[in-house]
Structure 1
């Protein structure tokens, strides 16, 4: 029988056989766990965080001679695609140290036979997702399954923090802690700006901020090289998307320097286009390049991931689907197409090269328009300064709490005082009032004041202080709906007699008619028909294809990156072009300075131009697309209160355009100060936007999570239109007869906080109060204004028409810039 310290000796011996030496931070992690502490391990991708967490409970089990018999370690992963890879890594460590534990996965991909077996007896180590963990709590005798649990490890905690999936996990962890007091919980995170808060949220109200929480950092920062691909020639009037594929050959040259590469794009549509371009440019690579994104069928993705492990691919074009730890050998090259929009995202992707302890990482960034070169330089500076984005946690998501209560009621049932205490032990519900909790109980037992006359909303029955679901049909429906992941509704894409290719958003397919051709999964496909939420297709040859547009592709520029860009532009205004990427677009920046000015943190640039369309105002707060959408609507509404006019709006990450054909007076500094005041912000935003319709659409997801609407059984799912109609009817009914309904209030709050980024919008207005307002009246569109004009045109005209208009306008602006330069 092993004796004390045998566990760590076995770990050291295994490391020695591998030719490794444990990192100091790994030893600190093992010691902290063995002392019964909880905490957060944060270190760059590929530095060994998993072993720093896993070998703590493994070594202690070796000390005790624990050969298992029931669940000992629960490993939470944010993506089910990571589960099998993680399981393989954990098994390898167990084999190395000689511990005979079973490691299994339980996700949405786990077969029914395996799930039934696990309900009877769990393995010693279970890798699962927040959704599958919640499902485990919905079965009878749940507490017995976790009675021997010694540790919970949450992988990639930064990916869950700040989402409703994170809130769902907080509630599950509180349930586990209530049954296993002192349960060690460890989070793993690579890149995060609010580490102390992240640890406090993970450890809950009982331990967050207390001495039991310990932050363990990696021993040394990873060496990272960020390079921008600077084109030989840059248009002085750039527009989004124009530059990317024009640099295809330099990208191919870079890929040829290595053996394996990942080429990241920000959107699935962009990934499709780059995969097609690479395949056409290098026919000799046709079997060595792959395409990987979340809409491609899972089996096809798994086949590609195995090819990565086997070294069968020269280059894989991918999106965030390969951001996280799908396990494969480190690649030689990582390419980022387009701005990463955030420092953390760039570092996560760069870490896929040199994905091992002590190895250096490098990433080549390919701008899709000229100003993204400044973003690339800003990302490098922000990383060097340690300015990484925070993930603010969510609070009072009552739809998630309601789902959790029904989950417990489906299982062994719950008593209200105990579950209230558990909820308040989380960060998300620390401020939950008695009134709010009682409302939740009333909602699940009666449906609330308005819906109490409909039997389907009386889901839970209270009997002698215990709340249970007694209807097995309701129980089955609830288990099918457990989870908080919401997205635009998907249609499956299939061949008539073949396998599945993947999924595409219903809104895209709705615009197609039979015979239309679109590019998907690297193939040109012709739509045959649509039936039962499935688009049937066949291969198409030699015809122009559309590219699907997925709504999830609009990433806003982060505050950290935007502020660093403004710092660089202030340097440029003073004649400082120190970054090579900034030097590459010197002509663009000099034209901007000649015709107008450059914004900075200290000054807000406002341009007024005239064209045949009317009066254009361009503002450049550099606050990201979402905040600019809210700001543009707010300004248009406030201007409309001053004089009768209608406005067209265009936004991008740098600024916004307001266009009106009405005759309007010039606006002076005092006018803009009044328009940009943060006073009455929420009231004015709600008046400016169709806030009711926005909340109505937001309510669809809240209604699904809380169980008000049911998506349907497998193979018979409701369409997005059907679900919107059902939830819309509920919204209208509640809004009319119960306007103070807490889920309606949550929908309105989420519209402001998430969809319109009201906090960031307020920060923009408060900053503007202290900024110098630089008002200019350029004769023509400036390089900063031109992309906003193009964006508005793109949304209004056909592809051919707007490209012709853009080309003609570019020619006129170039001639104007040359004329000014000649005069100078």
Structure 2
């Protein structure tokens, strides 16, 4: 029994769920654990009342507390978002107020004033709600060890969200230190359902842990409905359909009291907000927008207005994905593919937020082919095909930052920290020589940077490494964290004329002399200078199409599995879902012109048009994987016969366009798509070095090689890139086995090129039957990919009318 919870729940008129009572029992036994329960069922209270009961009921803890003249921190609650921190703060302080407890809760995030932080340091509250970065800032302060000496609990909220990022590594390292300071520490994680829940628990609690897994046996009812257009486009292109469904979307919004309209990109959110206001002026004042590029002030206003029920709808991005606790909305609308099953479920859970209520989510496809994903999502949800969150391993940049953090704080003994760090999942394979190399980079700059005073950061005194320079200590505290973002690069002619901005992740894949389409022009890459791409016009006929931020947001492997399953159900005429039934005319047209693959088949089309020879391949593995696959195939084709290729891709397939014709048959395709020597061909066919150079900028920033600037005076991106590029070149030439350099290459293969996923795709395809066709014209499947490249070639205002003409010709309505 938990007397505090029983009283509080009784006063609210609520009955605790079984999972909440189970959590309280496990906490009362002194165990650590992981809590997994649906959104809206009271996960916060399942942990919080266990913490409250421990504080007041545990005689041993009370006797230890009396030994100290001042309060010590009892509980630390870590969340990934400042907005979420504020909501946890509201809920927990309400409990203390309702029960008239002297259990004080404080908030510490990037918004907390310096004076408030100093008060929290001198007189700690019983509980502190904070972020991973703020925990490391506490470790970087003097007497940080003493601050955590009586800590009884650490709770990591939304652990699944932190797990697949370097912020998760920050949490692992902080836990390793605080567990060493206080071995009695109890650690609890709160996580949504993911495909590797047991692994997530082990990473949080440690190998061989004896922690509890508390899971709610509560099935959240989810009602999924696909918004279908009045007419089916047999030759769709990306984004073409979405806004055409505006009236249907507004009709749904009007049926409910409150709605969240989720988009995948910020630009898409801006477009939908403007379109609704433009066509429905009555929404002014009751419609808001919420995304990561807006100021904190605007976002907080939107969250408060939602909480108070003053808004009819909010157009938002993933900025409202997590468990920010506002008044439950009645409905969720997803614009375009959610790209992942877990993300779709998370967003669905924002509606019907109360226990036992049904979550209503409407899926709005942005082109005809995307309609199939409505069927795929229903299948994935029904079969619980949930994505795994893959943790980072061997993140030496974070380790170097962490060692500096400890040195800036109370200092550290190398042997002790090595053993602690080896106990984390991220650094389980760390050798002593690797650890010593990380230390050396902080002591004297390692093998290559020892001539520079700024890299003589650590001093050994009485067996303990510390930082004596106040300047270096201050700069480090300003740089703590592992949040990085992709930079935009300016595209310019040699004359200096500015054409626009493009993502560096796209440019990093190109070599000098490569051609790409941008701003309606064919451009040849001359060189990359800092953060500028210098180009010149060219008459070369083939070029690569840029990939944009929205396009790089790729479907998950699990959603790919579900989509391929939906294609199998196309052939089952007895039990057609509404989505598959609606798409029958498109599928019949595809079958007539080319072929319709089954789940264990790969469709390949080879089409000749006035634009050249098009090789279309449909693995259904997502845009990121397709981009890599296409470049591997271009390299392999180029070895057979020299050619220049244009590459385009979408979530379902990719295109290689060339003026060179190849003699293609099934054997040729099988060999072309062979998984043999894939790693070698990725390294040879893609400019991996340049991609690693770009990736290294973030690694150098996290490791402290490059100072990012003071608040309000951030260093310009071009200076960051120039400095990081210099270090990269020095390491390449003089220290090729440098750990940070190797990490840059590993991250390119693992995360940017998704080599593991690409390998699995090639291996799966090797087991599939090849359906090779030679259509006389573009097909319903190939037209959306063709339109991706066409859009960039004719990016002025008439590209849509040109594309419409081609579509009409394909439909036989124009000669």
After TM superposition, list the pairs within 5 Å mapping 1:72-83 onto structure 2: 72-83=74-85
CA contact (8 A) 1:191 1:348 kept: no
User: For residues 50 and 747 of structure 1, do their structure 2 counterparts lie closer, same or farther at Cα, with a shift above 3 Å needed?
Assistant: same
**SS where residue 602 of structure 2 aligns?**
strand
Corresponding position: 1:696 with 2:693: yes
Deviation at residue 489 of structure 1 after TM alignment: 4.8
Which residue of structure 2 aligns with residue 707 of structure 1? 704
Contact 2:4 2:49 (C-alpha < 8 Å) held by counterparts: no
> Is contact 2:487-2:503 (8 Å) kept?
no
1:804 shift after superposition: 2.4
Q: Is the 8 A contact 1:323 1:349 kept in 2?
A: yes
Residue 438 of structure 1: CA displacement? 1.0
In structure 2, what is the Cα distance between the partners aligned to 1:276 and 1:760?
38
**C-alpha distance in 1 between matches for 2:555 and 2:792:** 21
* Corresponding residue of 2:268: 270
Q: Provide, for residues 274-329 of structure 1, a one-character-per-residue CA deviation record: whole Å limited to 9, x for no partner.
A: 00011112211201000000000111111111111111100111001011122211
Question: Is the Cα–Cα contact under 8 Å of residues 349 and 359 in structure 2 kept in the other structure?
Answer: yes
The CA distance in 2 between the partners of 1:760 and 1:93, in whole Å, is 46
Deviates further, 279-288 or 475-484: 279-288
Instruction: Please tell me whether residue 42 in structure 1 is matched to residue 36 in structure 2.
Output: yes
Matched, 1:30 2:24: yes
Structure 1 counterpart of 2:72: 70
8 A Cα contact 1:11 1:97, kept in partner: no
Which whole-Å CA distance do the structure 2 matches of 1:812 and 1:393 have between them? 49
1:239 correspondence with 2:237: yes
* Residue of structure 1 equivalent to 2:437: 439
1:381: Cα distance to partner? Answer: 1.1
Aligned residues of 2:79 and 2:129 also touching (Cα < 8 A)? yes
Kindly state the Cα deviation for residue 119 of structure 1 after the two structures are TM-superposed.
2.2
Q: State the TM-score, normalizing by the size of structure 2.
A: 0.90
Query: What CA distance in whole angstroms lies between the structure 2 residues aligned with 1:444 and 1:16?
Result: 56
Is the Cα–Cα contact under 8 Å of residues 231 and 584 in structure 1 kept in the other structure?
A: no
Q: 1:716 to 1:506 in 2, by over 3 A?
A: farther
Whole-angstrom CA distance in 2 between matches of 1:506 and 1:70:
51
Which residue does the alignment assign to 1:203? Answer: 205
Find the counterpart in structure 1 of residue 190 from structure 2.
188
Which of 291, 294, 300 does residue 293 from structure 1 map onto?
A: 291
Q: Following the alignment from structure 1 to structure 2, what is the Cα–Cα distance between the partners of residues 105 and 575?
A: 58
Question: Pairwise mapping of residues 754-769 of structure 1 onto structure 2 (< 5 A)?
Answer: 754-769=751-766
Listed as ranges, the matches of 1:56-455 within 5 Å are 56-64=50-58, 69-205=71-207, 209-210=208-209, 212-455=210-453
Of 724, 728, 731, the match for 2:728: 731
Residue correspondences, number: 756
SS in 2 for 1:592: helix
**Residue number in structure 1 paired with 2:12:** 18
The structural deviation recorded for 1:576 is 5.1
Q: Offset of 1:94 from its aligned partner?
A: 2.3
1:625/1:395 CA distance change after superposition, 3 Å: same
* 1:615-665 per-position Cα deviation (integer Å, ceiling 9, x unaligned): 100001111111111100000001100001111101111111000012x23
Instruction: Rate the CA distance shift 1:401–1:234 in 2: closer, same or farther, 3 A.
Output: same
Deviations 1:13-34 (A, max 9, x none): 2111111000000000011111
Task: State the distance in 1 between where 2:727 and 2:583 align.
Answer: 53
Distance 1:649 1:440, change over 3 A: same
What are the Cα deviations for residues 682-702 of structure 1, in whole angstroms up to 9, with x where unaligned? 111011111111000000000
> Partner of 2:537 in structure 1?
none
Counterpart of 1:391 in 2: which secondary structure? Answer: coil
Give the deviation of 1:715 after TM superposition: 1.9
Matched, 1:677 2:661: no
Say which is worse superposed, 149-158 or 730-739, in terms of deviation: 730-739
Residue in 2 that maps onto 1:462: 460
Distance in 1 of aligned mates of 2:575 and 2:781: 18
CA distance in 2, matches of 1:769, 1:161: 32
Alpha-carbon distance in structure 2 between the residues aligned to 1:508 and 1:488:
7
* 2:521 aligned residue: none
Indicate the larger mover: 194-203 or 320-329.
320-329
TM-aligned CA distance change 1:552 to 1:186, over 3 Å: farther
Q: Quote how far apart the aligned CAs of 1:53 are.
A: 1.1
Classify the secondary structure of the residue corresponding to 2:616. strand
Shift of 1:490: 8.7
Deviations 1:21-57 (A, max 9, x none): 0000000001111111111111111111111111111
With over 3 angstroms needed to count, the CA separation of the structure-2 counterparts of 1:653 and 1:552, relative to structure 1, is: closer
Aligned 8 A contact 1:269 1:550 in 2 = no
Once the two structures are overlaid, the 10-residue window that deviates more, 598-607 or 235-244, is 598-607
Matches of 1:310 and 1:765, distance apart in 2: 51
Distance 2:371 2:672 in 1: 32
2:527 corresponding residue in structure 1: none
- Residue 459 of structure 1: how far off its partner (Å): 1.2
1:508 Cα deviation from its structure 2 partner:
8.7
Q: 3-state SS of the aligned residue for 2:101? A: coil
Q: 1:23·1:219 contact (CA, 8 Å) conserved in 2? A: no
Distance 1:127 1:660 in 2: 57
* Aligned residue runs from structure 1 range 553-572, under 5 A: 554-572=552-570
Alpha carbons 2:486, 2:503 under 8 Å: kept: no
Distance between the aligned counterparts of 1:606 and 1:757, measured in 2? 22
Map of 1:735-750 to 2, 5 A cutoff? 735-750=732-747
**C-alpha contact (below 8 Å) 2:589/2:780 kept by paired residues:** yes
Q: Distance in 1 between matches of 2:487 and 2:75?
A: 35
Q: Give the secondary structure class of the aligned counterpart of 1:378.
A: helix
- SS of the aligned residue for 2:355 comes to coil
Tell me how far 1:97 sits from its aligned partner. 3.4
Name the CA distance, whole Å, in 2 between partners of 1:244 and 1:173.
45
Q: Which region of structure 1 is more displaced relative to structure 2, 92-101 or 369-378?
A: 92-101
Distance 1:104 1:341, change over 3 A: same
The TM-score with structure 1 as length reference comes to 0.89
Q: Secondary structure at the match of 1:87?
A: helix
**Counterparts in 2 of 1:525-674, with a 5 A limit?**
551=549, 554-575=552-573, 578-662=576-660, 664-674=661-671
Q: How far off is 1:506 after superposition? A: 7.7
Q: Counterpart in 2 of 1:530?
A: none
**Correspondence for 1:774 among 771, 776, 793:** 771
Q: Retained in 2: the 8 A contact 1:377–1:581?
A: yes
Provide, for residues 522-560 of structure 1, a one-character-per-residue CA deviation record: whole Å limited to 9, x for no partner.
xxxxxxxxxxx9xxxxxxxxxxxxxxx983663211111
State whether residues 222 and 359 of structure 2, in contact with CA within 8 Å, keep that contact through their aligned partners in structure 1.
yes
What SS is found at the alignment partner of 1:450?
A: coil
Give the secondary-structure state (helix, strand or coil) at the position aligned to 1:658.
strand
Cα 1:218/1:658, change in 2 over 3 Å: same
Say which is worse superposed, 233-242 or 801-810, in terms of deviation.
801-810
Change (3 A) 1:110 1:490: farther
Alignment partner, residue 784 of structure 2: 787
CA–CA separation in structure 2 for the residues paired with 1:281 and 1:423: 57
Deviations 1:169-192 (A, max 9, x none): 100001011111131111111231
Deviation at 1:422, TM superposition (A): 0.8
CA contact (8 A) 2:376 2:566 kept: yes
Q: What is the CA-CA distance between 1:711 and the residue it aligns to?
A: 0.8
| RMSD (CA atoms) | 1.9
Higher mean displacement: 179-188 or 596-605: 596-605
The match for 2:508 is: none
The answer as to whether partners of 2:140 and 2:410 remain within 8 angstroms in 1 is yes
Contact residue 71 and residue 122 of structure 1 kept, 8 A: yes
